[in-house]
Amino acid sequence: MTGRDEPQNQGAAHTPLLVLGKITEILNAFTLRQPSLTLRDIQRATGLPASTVQRLVTNLVANGFLDRTGDRFRIGVKMAYWAAAAAKELDVLDVVSPVLKDLRDRTGETACFFRVEGEQRVCVAVAETRHALRREMAVGRVFPLTAGSSGRVLLAWTPGLADAVLRHEPPRLTDSTVTNRDELRRLVKQTAADGYAITAGERIDGASGLAAPVFDAAADLVGAVTVQGPTLRMPYETCVEWVEVVVEHAERITRALGGRFPD
């Protein structure tokens, strides 16, 4: 009897795990860049049968995992409460550091995390490239917000900061530094629309940067994930190819912090 019962028990144990796997696939279909999806969108992203998607999504809505508006779905507000409890004792740098190392290994270039400090930006975490030719970076270094990709991101998602910083004429650090305040405002708006920023030679000649934002549970900006390196290895075309990689790593930190993208 034991021999006959064992496969049945194993099957019963595996069924919830299979369902949890499918639910995970559905939840992972929602990203900061695509926070709202239709059933068809979810089906395409997961590859699950339409009937399965409809059944599981209906249950997820009923239990608060997802919210529905018309024919579109998004991660439920209730999830933010659970995430906030998980992240309450979480040190941001404990989350950031391993993600930066992974980003460094994926791109081969230095990965940094910047935060706003007054009307400047400061590096609070860094994973240095293993290349001998590099643009030096260290924790604690402070730079203007008006030059470089991370500064552009920090200005784009910190309400009122661009107006405060641009009351004064931006310093010219290189021939490529943007000092025209109207042009900087335009670039900051473009960054907010794109969801990332790419710059070249603005802070240091021959250096490029690519940055994306990280948010907390209140949808407030936490900081900017940045990849930087010599333009020789990071021409504009390469930066464009890495956009999805950098955004993905920024989203990993946001998810770990229980964060969400601003509406």
What tens digit of pLDDT does each residue of 203-218 get?
A: 999 999 999 999 988 8
What pLDDT, on the 0 to 100 scale, is given for residue 79? 75
**How do beta strands 72-75 and 207-215 pair?**
unpaired
d(CA 173, CA 161): 20
Would you say residue 116 lies in a domain? yes
Q: Tokens 């920023």 belong to which residue?
A: 197
Tokens of 202: 């603005």
- Kindly compute the dihedral angle of the four CA atoms of residues 130, 133, 139, 140, in this order, to the nearest 10 degrees: 180
Please state the pTM of the whole predicted model. 0.70
Q: Report in angstroms the alpha-carbon separations of 100 from 8, 202, 209, 250.
A: 45, 23, 14, 9
**Same domain for 98 and 206?**
yes
Domain of residue 35, residue span: 2-75
Would you say residue 262 lies in a domain? no
**Same domain for 52 and 139?**
no
pLDDT digits over 57-100, tens only? 999 999 989 999 999 999 887 776 666 555 554 568 888 999 99
Q: Residues for the chain: how many in total?
A: 263
**Same domain for 44 and 124?**
no
d(CA 259, CA 84): 8
Q: Report in angstroms the alpha-carbon separations of 125 from 36, 108, 157, 170, 203.
A: 32, 17, 20, 25, 19
d(CA 1, CA 249): 51
Backbone angles phi, psi at 106, to 5 degrees: -70, -40
What pLDDT, on the 0 to 100 scale, is given for residue 6? 43
**Same domain for 148 and 203?**
yes
Residue finishing a domain among 44, 75, 106: 75
d(CA 224, CA 241): 19
**First-residue to last-residue Cα distance in the chain:** 58
d(CA 168, CA 159): 17
Let me know if 185 is exposed, middle or buried by CB neighbors in 10 A (0-12, 13-18, 19+). Answer: middle
Q: Tokens 């948010």 belong to which residue?
A: 215
d(CA 182, CA 166): 9
CB atoms within 10 A of CB 49: 11
What pLDDT, on the 0 to 100 scale, is given for residue 55? 94
CA 113 to the chain's CA centroid? 11
H-helix or E-strand containing 214?
Answer: strand 207-215
Number of independent structural domains in the chain: 2
pLDDT less than 70: residues of the chain: 1-17, 32, 80-91
Would you say residue 154 lies in a domain? yes
Residue finishing a domain among 32, 47, 75: 75
Would you say residue 98 lies in a domain? yes
